[in-house]
Amino acid sequence: MLKKEDLDSIKTYRALPCSLQSGEINGVYLDSNDFGEMEDTRDFFIDDDALARWGCSNMHFIPSEEVNQEALERYNITEEEFRKIQDRLECILDVGTCGWCI
């Protein structure tokens, strides 16, 4: 069963906001890749030269459309809880153009 404390434990690094620093679900360290992926949605105003220097331009967590059955077992959660975790990740991993990697 997913607890509020589990959701609250999911935090990003201050100096690397596109990566998780902490997060445990039912005692298992959270891997955001089990729930979706980080994607550079790339702002239209970033040119190729700038992108090559910076490495990314507009990072966001994109939740997977399908429920990862292995994740349900690993974290001992339901499909509804899986979606709640995705929602939390989508909120905190909505980095945008943070500028840290410049």
For the chain (102 residues), the mean pLDDT of every run of 10, in chain order, is: 87 78 90 92 61 67 96 97 96 76 59
**Domain-embedded: residue 102:** no
User: Which amino acid is present at 27?
Assistant: G
How many folded domains does the chain comprise? 1
Q: Which domain holds residue 50?
A: 4-96
Question: Residue 62 domain-assigned?
Answer: yes
pLDDT, residue 60, reads 85
Quote the pLDDT of residue 30: 93
Look at residue 81 in the predicted model and tell me its pLDDT.
97
Q: Is residue 101 part of a domain?
A: no
Helix/strand/coil (H/E/C) assignment for every residue in the chain = CCCHHHHHCCEECCCCCCCEEECEECCEECCHHHCEEEEECCCCCCCHHHHHHHCCCCEEEEECCCCCHHHHHHHCCCHHHHHHHHHHHHHHCEEECCCCCC
